[in-house]
Amino acid sequence: MTHIELRGVQKFFGEVQVIKDMNLVIEDNEFIVMLGPSGCGKTTTLRAVAGLETIDEGDILIDGKVVQHLKAADRDIAFVFQSFSLYPHMTVYENIAFPLRATRQSKAEVDRAVRQVADVLRIAPLLKRRPSALSGGDMQRVAIGRALVRSPKALLMDEPIGALDAKLREEMRTEIKRLHMKQGSTTIYVTHDQVEAMALADRIVIMNDGVLQQVGTPDDVYTHPANLFVAQFVGSPVMNVAEAHVAETASEARVVMPGAAEGFVFPRTLLGRLEAGGAKGDGLALGIRPEGVLVERERREGYLPVEAHIIEPLGSHDIIDLKVGTQMLRARTKAGFVPRPGEKVWVRIDPAQAHFFDAESGRSFGVRL
Amino acid sequence: MAAVKTPRQKVANQLAIAAVIVIAIIFLAPIYWIGSTAFKPRALATTVPPTVLFQPEVTPFVKLFTRRVQLNRPVEPGAYEAAPWWEKRIYDGGERVLRVGEDVQLSGYPDRFLNSLIIAVTSTLLAVSMGTLTAYGFSRFRVAGEQDWLFFILSTRMLPPVVVAIPMFLMYRVVGMTDTHIGLIILYTAFNLSFSVWLMKGFIDEIPKEYEEAALVDGYTRMQAFFKIVLPEAATGIAATAVFCFITAWNEYAFALMMTNRRAQTAPPFIPAQVGSGLTDWTTIAAGTFLFLLPVAIFTFLLRNHLLRGMSFGAIRK
């Protein structure tokens, strides 16, 4: 049972504030992914929890106990580094056994623990090798093994698979997920890769510029991003964001993008919902993921005619840049749906997938139709 | 897969080998000269051109290790016959007026050699251990005025040491440290320390911080992390630094000559003193020099694996 809590944590590097008033509660057995661009403070936060970094304000609690004054060694937490940092002068076996050697366990106990972890991670045949003779994936398995061997209260991972190539990364991602389901330990995992975050997390913690942006399940942050930053950081391809204003007709609302002759059709309820959300009419940003931009080859009721600009064939699907007024919208279509650039297509925005943000502050109005 | 070489590459290869051989000959020539002179009969030591083929003998070493007295006339034939084999060598066939004293006495050489060992080894141990700890501190912690400190440490090497020899001698005389082992040890340690700090800092900077952090998280104190992780990883650097420090301390001549004369005298000032009275016995000097070369050669040979091995061997991803 491990429960980690951050209360009003602040951290400065000289003049620069790298963590700004961070509050977070992590439940037992939860897999938390901290996601953000590089330099957003996620790694510093992780290192602060581990005790490798001091904090300037606030409290860090592990199982209700304030730990920010405790040494890393006394927090009973394991850390997996991006660089793996296996000791080159020790064999794989010695590397995994190393944390146990700090405790007063008998040789037989150490041996049993090492072999058990090696079995779980499927690295038993490698135990006698030196780290330099391992592949990247195996190095990371060993590093995880070293972290798990003493059954720590929590497992912290700092971009553990960021240094691997794409194929291996996918493999290890599955492996880490499998391991977490099997071992089930409280885990904090730092990454800048939103796919990794979505795939692994119970809850995602999104940070930017030292500020916590949103905490939620992958589904939550994907479908209800709290602001423009989260909306554009999560999801690939990136969510379209366009200036827009809402015009009213007798039966419907129209969302018009600048320079466009006509607006996209939305239900009339949009107006009331926007007002309730605090929107003032102008300074509105429309957010729509590429799969929410519906494309047809034939003219249809409620669809606007536009031109396809650039087509990126990705095999399973295509990404098409459409010029709407002065702005571009990217749409996701079936592979080969629009044969070549310059074709005229008809497009509509799925109201159910549209997001509305305050263009100034980036805050979401929380309107979902 | 066998490497297929073009004729041009073969020629280039042979030229490279030839160049290496020439360079090796140039570098090894003085060592050969010393080594061969150490086993030559005295008469052949200074022939021009040098004698290459000769019957090697151990006479120079016997002379080096024994204390001799000068006789005022050639030794009696009977006494010559009765002398042991090694003493006969010193008589130079009965024509020389030297002999080993009534009781065989060792010369000063073994003592000087031992002094050299004690002083060089101790000062190397001190310089390397203090240098490693200092370098670790500079490398891993934020030290106020770090750059200035490092520059200050380096600046101690900026003027030729001989310049301060006289003031050093006067200070040593006042505190009574002339002709003491501890005096030379302190001197050589101070002399090597700046070098050791700078060299070790370079090596320790190369060791990723994550190694220690991993150990810290895994339940070790910083001291334990230092001894279990940093030291083994820095072994290569420590070996290289130790070799350099040892060579400097071992070969030092000027201060040893000035600061010591008997008790703590090292081999370098002693060997040329064997030039002797009235005759320059180059073979004995060569014998002393030849033995003097051995410890550095052995030390370097023992550490060769550490010196040659690459610093990091790929267990960390950068």
Do B14 and B113 reside in the same domain of the chain? no
Nearest to A145 by CA among A166, A102, A173, A114: A114
Q: Check pLDDT > 90 for residue A240.
A: yes
Q: Check pLDDT > 90 for residue B162.
A: no
CATH number of the domain within which B194 lies: 1.10.3720.10
Strands A293-296 and A344-349: antiparallel
pLDDT digits 0-9 by tens, A242-286: 988 888 888 888 898 888 888 898 998 888 888 888 887 678 899
Question: 3-state DSSP call for residue A225?
Answer: coil
**Chain A: nearest CA to B146, how far in angstroms?**
17
Question: 3-state DSSP call for residue B82?
Answer: helix
Mean pLDDT of B50-70: 81
In a domain, B231, yes or no: yes
Start-end of H helices in A188-262? 194-200, 218-223, 228-233
Do B135 and B93 reside in the same domain of the chain? no
In a domain, A164, yes or no: yes
Do A209 and A254 reside in the same domain of the chain? no
Q: Do B315 and A132 touch (CB under 8 A)?
A: yes
In a domain, A193, yes or no: yes
Do A307 and A180 reside in the same domain of the chain? no
How far is Cα A105 from Cα A197, in angstroms, rounded to an integer? 36
Q: Return the minimum-mean-pLDDT range out of A28-32, B96-100, B306-310.
A: B96-100
Q: How many domains are there within chain B?
A: 3
In a domain, B62, yes or no: no
**Chain A: nearest CA to B233, how far in angstroms?**
7
ipTM above 0.95, yes or no: no
- Residue pairs between chains A and B whose CB atoms are closer than 8 Å: 86
Do A325 and A263 reside in the same domain of the chain? yes
Q: Do A78 and B312 touch (CB under 8 A)?
A: no
In a domain, A368, yes or no: no
In chain A the beta strands, taken as DSSP E runs, fall at 4-13, 16-26, 31-35, 57-62, 65-66, 77-80, 154-158, 186-191, 203-208, 211-216, 240-248, 253-256, 264-266, 284-288, 293-296, 304-313, 317-324, 327-334, 344-349, 354-358
Q: Check pLDDT > 70 for residue B317.
A: no
**Chain B: nearest CA to A69, how far in angstroms?**
14
Q: Which residue of B has its CA nearest to A51?
A: B217
Count how many residues are written for chain A: 369
How far is Cα A150 from Cα A110, in angstroms, rounded to an integer? 9
CATH number of the domain within which A326 lies: 2.40.50.140
Do B143 and B230 reside in the same domain of the chain? yes
pLDDT digits 0-9 by tens, B219-232: 899 999 999 999 99
> Within a 10 A sphere around the Cβ of A55, how many other Cβ atoms?
21
Domain boundary among A169, A203, A226: A226
Q: How confident is the model at residue B94 (pLDDT cuts 50, 70, 90)?
A: very low
Place of tokens 């499998």: A178
Do A294 and A163 reside in the same domain of the chain? no
Nearest to A242 by CA among A127, A318, A330, A177: A330
Count how many residues are written for chain B: 318
Interface test with A, best of B306, B317, B318 (most A CBs within 10 A): B317
Strands A154-158 and A240-248: unpaired
Q: Check pLDDT > 70 for residue A19.
A: yes
CA distances from A104 to A74, A91, A101, B218, B219 (A): 15, 21, 7, 13, 11
Q: What is the structure's pLDDT at B84? A: 74
Q: What is the structure's pLDDT at B26? A: 95
Q: Residues of A with CB below 8 A from B316's CB?
A: 83-86, 88
- φ, ψ (nearest 5 deg) of residue B305: -60, -40
Do B99 and B119 reside in the same domain of the chain? no
Give the structural domain span for A332. 240-358
Q: Which residue from B217, B221, B232 is facing A77, i.e. has the nearest CB?
A: B217
Do A197 and A262 reside in the same domain of the chain? no
pLDDT digits 0-9 by tens, A52-104: 999 999 999 999 999 999 999 999 999 999 888 899 889 999 999 999 998 88
Domain boundary among A202, A226, A250: A226
> Within a 10 A sphere around the Cβ of A104, how many other Cβ atoms?
7
Do A269 and A163 reside in the same domain of the chain? no
Strands A211-216 and A203-208: antiparallel
pLDDT digits 0-9 by tens, A312-357: 999 999 999 998 888 889 999 999 888 888 888 999 999 999 999 9
Q: Check pLDDT > 90 for residue B105.
A: no
Do B248 and B124 reside in the same domain of the chain? yes
**Chain A: nearest CA to B239, how far in angstroms?**
16
Do B139 and B263 reside in the same domain of the chain? yes
How far is Cα B31 from Cα B33, in angstroms, rounded to an integer? 5
CA distances from B155 to B149, B161, B168, B195, B196 (A): 10, 12, 17, 10, 13
Q: What is the structure's pLDDT at B6? A: 83
In a domain, A58, yes or no: yes
Do A123 and A264 reside in the same domain of the chain? no
Residues of A with CB under 8 A from a CB of B: 50-52, 71-73, 75-79, 81-89, 98-99, 102-103, 130-132, 134, 136, 139, 146, 150, 163
Do B272 and B285 reside in the same domain of the chain? yes
Q: Omega of the bond prior to A341 within 30 degrees of 0, cis?
A: no
Report which of residues A116 and B2 the model is more confident about: A116
Mean pLDDT of A188-199: 93
In a domain, A363, yes or no: no
Q: What is the structure's pLDDT at B310? A: 42
Instruction: Please classify residue A344 by burial: count the beta carbons closer than 10 Å to its beta carbon, then call 0-12 exposed, 13-18 middle and 19+ buried.
Output: exposed
Q: What is the structure's pLDDT at B309? A: 59
pLDDT digits 0-9 by tens, B130-143: 999 999 999 999 88
Do A253 and A354 reside in the same domain of the chain? yes
In a domain, B50, yes or no: no
Report which of residues B104 and B289 the model is more confident about: B289
Strands A327-334 and A293-296: unpaired
How far is Cα B224 from Cα B74, in angstroms, rounded to an integer? 70
Report which of residues A103 and B21 the model is more confident about: B21
How far is Cα B249 from Cα B82, in angstroms, rounded to an integer? 44
| Residue pair A348/A301 in contact by the 8 Å Cβ criterion | no
| Residue pair A205/A212 in contact by the 8 Å Cβ criterion | yes
Place of tokens 């002179």: B37
Q: Check pLDDT > 70 for residue B95.
A: no
CA distances from B252 to A291, A351, B120, B194 (A): 79, 87, 9, 16
Q: Check pLDDT > 90 for residue A39.
A: no
Q: What is the structure's pLDDT at A367? A: 85
Mean pLDDT of B151-163: 88
Do B137 and B115 reside in the same domain of the chain? yes
Do B81 and B212 reside in the same domain of the chain? no
How far is Cα A296 from Cα B90, in angstroms, rounded to an integer? 113
Q: Which residue of B has its CA nearest to A162?
A: B317
Do A97 and A195 reside in the same domain of the chain? yes
In a domain, B81, yes or no: yes
Nearest to A90 by CA among A49, A19, A145: A145
Q: How confident is the model at residue B81 (pLDDT cuts 50, 70, 90)?
A: confident
- Which helix (H) or strand (E) covers residue A365, if one does? none
Do A284 and A198 reside in the same domain of the chain? no
CATH number of the domain within which A196 lies: 3.40.50.300
Q: What percent of chain B has pLDDT over 70?
A: 86
Nearest to B46 by CA among B37, B54, B34: B37
How far is Cα A70 from Cα B229, in angstroms, rounded to an integer? 22
Q: Return the minimum-mean-pLDDT range out of A130-134, B42-46, B195-199.
A: B42-46
Q: What is the mean pLDDT of chain B?
A: 85
In a domain, B87, yes or no: yes
With both helix axes pointing from N to C terminus, report the angle between A107-120 and A136-148 in degrees, rounded to the nearest 10: 130
Do B23 and B114 reside in the same domain of the chain? no
Q: How confident is the model at residue B271 (pLDDT cuts 50, 70, 90)?
A: confident
- Which helix (H) or strand (E) covers residue A41, if one does? none
Q: How many domains are there within chain A?
A: 2
Q: What is the mean pLDDT of chain A?
A: 90
> Within a 10 A sphere around the Cβ of A366, how many other Cβ atoms?
15
In a domain, A299, yes or no: yes
Q: What is the structure's pLDDT at A56? A: 94
In a domain, A245, yes or no: yes
Q: Do B219 and A85 touch (CB under 8 A)?
A: no
Q: Do B218 and A84 touch (CB under 8 A)?
A: no
**Chain A: nearest CA to B304, how far in angstroms?**
18
- Which helix (H) or strand (E) covers residue B139, if one does? helix B109-140
Q: Check pLDDT > 50 for residue B318.
A: no
Q: How far apart are the first and last CA of chain A?
A: 40
Domain boundary among A226, A261, A288: A226
Q: Check pLDDT > 70 for residue B46.
A: yes
Mean pLDDT of A147-174: 89
How far is Cα A339 from Cα A234, in angstroms, rounded to an integer? 29
User: Encoding tokens for residue B58?
Assistant: 């151990």
Q: Do A86 and B315 touch (CB under 8 A)?
A: yes
**Chain A: nearest CA to B220, how far in angstroms?**
6
Do A95 and A196 reside in the same domain of the chain? yes
Q: How confident is the model at residue B98 (pLDDT cuts 50, 70, 90)?
A: low
Q: What is the structure's pLDDT at B157? A: 86
Q: Return the minimum-mean-pLDDT range out of A88-92, A206-210, B46-50, B242-246.
A: B46-50
Do B156 and B16 reside in the same domain of the chain? no
Q: What is the DSSP letter of B41?
A: -
How far is Cα B139 from Cα B202, in angstroms, rounded to an integer? 9
User: Encoding tokens for residue A179?
Assistant: 């391991």
Do B178 and B295 reside in the same domain of the chain? yes
In a domain, B54, yes or no: no
In a domain, B59, yes or no: no
In a domain, A232, yes or no: no
Domain boundary among B57, B84, B105: B105
Q: Which residue from B208, B219, B317 is facing A73, i.e. has the nearest CB?
A: B219
Do A147 and A281 reside in the same domain of the chain? no
Give the structural domain span for B23. 7-37
